[in-house]
Structure 1
Amino acid sequence: MAASQARTKLHYGWIAAGLTFVTLLVAAGIRSAPGVMMVPLEAEFGWSRATISLSVSVNLILYGLMAPFAAAIMDRIGVRRTMALALAVLAVGVLATTAMSRPWHMTLLWGIVVGGGSGTIALVLGATVVSRWFDLYRGTVMGVLSAATATGQLIFLPQMAWMVEQWGWREAVLLIAGAAALLAPVIWFLMRDRPADLGLWPVGATEAPPPPVKAGNPAMAALQALRDGMKSRDFWLLAGTFYVCGLSTNGLIGTHLIPACFDHGIPEVKAAGLLAVMGIFDMVGTTLSGWLSDRWDSRKLLFWYYGLRGLSLIFLDWAFGPDVFGLWLFAVFYGLDWIATVPPTVKLCAQSFGRERAGVMFGWIFAAHQVGAATAAYAAGWIRTDLGDYYLAFLSAGLICLVAAVMSLMVGRQDAAGGARPAEEAA
């Protein structure tokens, strides 16, 4: 087996990582589409932003709650089948939204169908692929895969905003539905579940990994992991900080930045360009964060990420000026910080709960991320509808980020009862 790997010019793990990157990119583009659609839906159907935000909140909750079950499903039926099936569900669900005419149609299709499909191939997919295919470069590869969730905005949102402005929101929806439909067969034919399927070891492995344990009922495995996690102080700290991460990114900025720009007279295409700039710099920031998490204390990294993010949100309202220079500066800074929290969180999760359970435990932590996103998506829409602007939403999110920064430093420390640190127990 070792000789076989030596003769291989390119380890298949890098191909698996590339396919995962593209899948996460497409899923992210689909999930972020409501930010472009909100104003056109408001104009066409007369729905309030609070009504539209409710559907987005359902989407975000399912996007997160599917993660731990998706990890267990991947163990049961394989990564390849899970990815292909989820992409097919996304293509059908997104395509069906072109015929919606009632708010409950959007909640059913965009909230439940698209939310469930995109949640199946969320960040937990990246964590599962990295843990199976890589012994070296884990932090760096996880950083790149995490960045795909923001790079999806770079690829899709500007084109979608332009299509919405030129032809309408339905044509933009057809674009992302087609992307999911085209990718599904590619994944089916090229993706592999584990290195052993090709007679390989993980990248950088010096010995053969243990054979996979036969998975049982996916739901029971996920629920057992949740029960175990709820007994851990680190689980609550990681879930709590990641809740704030989702609240301050996908839920608030990802959903409401474009409508907030529109409120200040900034066209949708230019506002979508701001999110695209965030996608570019997120690719840099999250990849760098993965590299740093391989070398520095992940708790201190999270402290700086959440602290700086909180300060930027507190001062965001002042960035909406006539020259929009402040907004472009915000887009660059916030993009560098957007999902930089993921690699250190994944590393702390593996240290606390062990390599074998890292995927499903991170799935539950990611579920907290999406509950936070759903909270902000609905609350910010309600604040805008009730008060007429987003100032209170941005300010409160910034203050909560400062609390998360302090919580990050408490992960992995000895508890008050003198128990062992989770990282030591895992070791």
Structure 2
Amino acid sequence: MLTRYLVVTGSSITQFTVIGLLFSYGVFFKELELEFGWSRTMLSSCTAIAFLSMGLLAILGGRLTDKYGPSIVLGISGVLFGLGFALISQISEPWHLFIIFGLFIGIGLSTHDVATLSTIAHWFPKGRGLITAIVKVGTAFGQMLLPIIAAILIINYGWRITTIAIGLIAACLLLFSASLIKFPKKLKQNDKADSNDGVIFTIEAKSPIFKKLCIIQFLYFPALMTIPTHIAVHGTDIGMSQTQAALLLSTIGAASIIGRLSVGI
């Protein structure tokens, strides 16, 4: 009984860290603009590259999760994600950011939902909607807290030290949370005897509901990241302090807590 709630805890920490850090990237825009003179188009294109990478790698992440278990997959991808964020401190050319977001950040994004939510579904056949909502509240708290923390650290220590600090802390958090996320033992035994995965996937992929869900996700993610990527730097453009602009970004996460829980219920 305790194990499945540890899985929920680990999944929430994973969501908190990955999406919280991704939302925090917008807080660094002004600093990167001032230091390198790069355009916002170039800086925001990094998130597009990360999501493209996520889309290409998500199926592989799912297959690896089925084969090796969520702990290993989330542990490796989590460490790469955190180290990737820390490596932002070393950039000097635009292509450095493209590689970091395309590989390190993209790999972390490709598993944070696939591995956690699929594992939750196995542990909670009943009440799955509410438990999934609770896990995704971790995302909301990450969106709410990490941009403010990043802004305060940037003001006091600069953007390079901030990326190193939060990147390494994130890697440790994700490694810890991965250790809590495991498949039920019965599932492991049943999977060894089940050879119909490919057939089931083919049937599901042809269903109208599956296709509609794919279209929804395709339209949803650009909207999800466009505003968070630009809202903090827009806040500073209109006279807000860096902390106030980060707080503006954080309100999105705070407001989403109600939505996530109400939909789950």
Structure having the higher Rg: 1
Whole-Å Cα distance in 2 between the matches of residues 166 and 149 of structure 1?
Answer: 26
Q: Counterpart in 2 of 1:87?
A: 78
Whole-Å Cα distance in 2 between the matches of residues 184 and 33 of structure 1?
Answer: 17
Whole-Å Cα distance in 1 between the matches of residues 250 and 54 of structure 2?
Answer: 22
1:139 to 2:129 alignment? yes
1:209 is displaced (CA, Å) by 9.9
Which amino acid is 1:129 matched to? Answer: T
Whole-Å Cα distance in 2 between the matches of residues 44 and 154 of structure 1?
Answer: 27
Whole-Å Cα distance in 1 between the matches of residues 248 and 135 of structure 2?
Answer: 21
Q: Counterpart in 2 of 1:422?
A: none
Q: Percent identity?
A: 23
In the TM superposition, what are the counterparts of 1:25-424 in structure 2 within 5 Å? 25-121=16-112, 123-187=113-177, 190-196=179-185, 211-213=190-192, 225=201, 231-250=206-225, 252-291=226-265
Kept in 2, the 8 Å contact 1:29–1:176? The answer is no
Which amino acid is 1:106 matched to? Answer: L
Which amino acid is 1:57 matched to? Answer: A
Whole-Å Cα distance in 2 between the matches of residues 38 and 262 of structure 1?
Answer: 10
Deviations 1:132-156 (A, max 9, x none): 1112220001112223223212221
Kept in 2, the 8 Å contact 1:85–1:184? The answer is no
Whole-Å Cα distance in 1 between the matches of residues 206 and 188 of structure 2?
Answer: 29
Kept in 1, the 8 Å contact 2:87–2:100? The answer is yes
Query: Quick one: structure 1 residues 36 and 26, their matched pair in 2 at CA, closer, same or farther if it must change by over 3 Å?
Result: same
Q: What TM-score results when the alignment is normalised by the length of structure 2?
A: 0.89
Q: Counterpart in 1 of 2:3?
A: 12
Deviations 1:179-234 (A, max 9, x none): 2232244246x42522227xxxxxxxxxx998125688xxx96xx94x65553332
Q: In structure 1, the residue corresponding to 2:190 is in which secondary structure?
A: coil
Whole-Å Cα distance in 2 between the matches of residues 184 and 56 of structure 1?
Answer: 20
Kept in 1, the 8 Å contact 2:143–2:254? The answer is no
Query: Quick one: structure 1 residues 185 and 258, their matched pair in 2 at CA, closer, same or farther if it must change by over 3 Å?
Result: closer
Which structure has more RCO (C-alpha within 8 Å, separation ≥ 6)?
2
Which amino acid is 2:122 matched to? Answer: R
Deviations 1:263-297 (A, max 9, x none): 32222311211222222222222011111xxxxxx
Query: Quick one: structure 1 residues 40 and 283, their matched pair in 2 at CA, closer, same or farther if it must change by over 3 Å?
Result: same
Aligned positions, number: 264
1:84 is displaced (CA, Å) by 1.0
Whole-Å Cα distance in 1 between the matches of residues 229 and 154 of structure 2?
Answer: 16
Query: Quick one: structure 1 residues 144 and 192, their matched pair in 2 at CA, closer, same or farther if it must change by over 3 Å?
Result: closer
Whole-Å Cα distance in 2 between the matches of residues 215 and 38 of structure 1?
Answer: 49
Query: Quick one: structure 1 residues 192 and 34, their matched pair in 2 at CA, closer, same or farther if it must change by over 3 Å?
Result: closer
Whole-Å Cα distance in 2 between the matches of residues 178 and 138 of structure 1?
Answer: 32
Which amino acid is 1:243 matched to? Answer: F
Kept in 1, the 8 Å contact 2:19–2:143? The answer is yes
Whole-Å Cα distance in 2 between the matches of residues 215 and 181 of structure 1?
Answer: 34
Query: Quick one: structure 1 residues 214 and 55, their matched pair in 2 at CA, closer, same or farther if it must change by over 3 Å?
Result: farther
Deviations 1:226-263 (A, max 9, x none): x655533323322222222212222x112111122223
Query: Quick one: structure 1 residues 192 and 235, their matched pair in 2 at CA, closer, same or farther if it must change by over 3 Å?
Result: closer
Which amino acid is 1:211 matched to? Answer: N
Whole-Å Cα distance in 2 between the matches of residues 104 and 37 of structure 1?
Answer: 17
Whole-Å Cα distance in 1 between the matches of residues 228 and 56 of structure 2?
Answer: 19
Query: Quick one: structure 1 residues 18 and 263, their matched pair in 2 at CA, closer, same or farther if it must change by over 3 Å?
Result: same
Which amino acid is 1:102 matched to? Answer: E
Query: Quick one: structure 1 residues 163 and 187, their matched pair in 2 at CA, closer, same or farther if it must change by over 3 Å?
Result: closer
Whole-Å Cα distance in 2 between the matches of residues 101 and 76 of structure 1?
Answer: 39
Deviations 1:381-404 (A, max 9, x none): xxxxxxxxxxxxxxxxxxxxxxxx
Whole-Å Cα distance in 2 between the matches of residues 229 and 256 of structure 1?
Answer: 37
